[in-house]
Amino acid sequence: MFEVNIIASGSSGNCYIISDGKTKVMIDPGIPGNQIIKKTKHKVTECECCLVSHEHGDHVRGAGTISRYIPIAATPETLNEIQHKQLIMMSKTLKKNVHNVFNTLAIVPFEVKHNAIDPVGFHITSLEWLSSLVFVTDSQYLKYKFPERTKYMVIECNYDEEILTENVVYGKIKGWLADKIRANHYSVETLIKTLKTNTQVEKLWLIHNSTENLDIQSTIEQIQEVYKNDIYTYQKEMGNEDTNHKR
């Protein structure tokens, strides 16, 4: 019932469109606005708004351009940070921990653990279907058990601790940078814990994958030991840019 369209994903830029069949919202305009417009085939205005998780460049790069078409929706602190750097034409402020209603979607922004001013994830309920999707990018972990109706999960799967450690040992990445990643991003190991506390999930999208510190195939195998349902990833290298790739 929920559709997820990954426009871009990873540390070089993020952009997603979530739809319950009635209402579409964009999340994170993190690539140049003209690219978003091109990749969505000029359908930006079909979205009610563009939610923003936090102010880092890979999540807001195209905010100024997109705000000419649809409002940028974020918490007051995040909106303020974006406005320091970009001219935002239309905006809406989001309240945390309560429902912010956009047509048929009731969206609850909740706190996550990341090095930004006010980083949030989004719990999105379709008022049409009474089912929910949770969206989490850039977070060290999640402390929540989501309601039973949360069958859809779009979540960061950034690094594999074993590969990250190996990359430090072989000098491919500096130790301080590895520690920064560990303190701010989701590992495969932590993701597995989240799936164990949220056994109701039936459809899973893995986003914001690192190209250097993760091997997606072995990651999927590790996840499949605890989670037996559908897994989707973003496969840029396969030229499959605007569709989900089912594993």
Would you tell me which residues interact with Zn ion (CB under 5 A)?
56, 58, 138
Min dist CB 56 to Zn ion, Å, is: 4
Is residue 73 classed as helix, strand or coil in its secondary structure? strand
Could you count the other beta carbons within 10 Å of the beta carbon of residue 111?
16
Sign of the alpha-carbon dihedral angle for 172, 176, 182, 185: negative
Is residue 113 classed as helix, strand or coil in its secondary structure? coil
| 5 burial type by CB count under 10 A (0-12 exposed, 13-18 middle, 19+ buried) | middle
Residue 240's φ and ψ, nearest 5 degrees, are -105, 40
Nearer to Zn ion, 81 or 138 (CB): 138
Nearer to Zn ion, 48 or 138 (CB): 138
Q: Which residues pair with 200 in a beta bridge?
A: none
Q: Which residues pair with 26 in a beta bridge?
A: 17, 50
User: Position 209: which residue type?
Assistant: N
Min dist CB 199 to Zn ion, Å, is: 27
Nearer to Zn ion, 56 or 123 (CB): 56
Nearer to Zn ion, 64 or 119 (CB): 119
Those residues whose C-beta lies under 8 Å from the C-beta of residue 129, and which sit 6 or more positions away, are: 1, 20, 21
Angle at alpha carbon of residue 247, lines to 212 and 114, rounded to 5°: 45
Helix residue ranges per DSSP H, 12-54: 33-39
Nearer to Zn ion, 13 or 33 (CB): 13
Nearer to Zn ion, 105 or 136 (CB): 136
Min dist CB 228 to Zn ion, Å, is: 29
Nearer to Zn ion, 105 or 157 (CB): 157
Min dist CB 131 to Zn ion, Å, is: 27
Min dist CB 9 to Zn ion, Å, is: 9
Q: Which residue is nearest to Zn ion (CB)?
A: 56
Min dist CB 10 to Zn ion, Å, is: 8
Min dist CB 59 to Zn ion, Å, is: 6
* Spatial contact of 181 and 190, defined as CB atoms under 8 Å apart: no
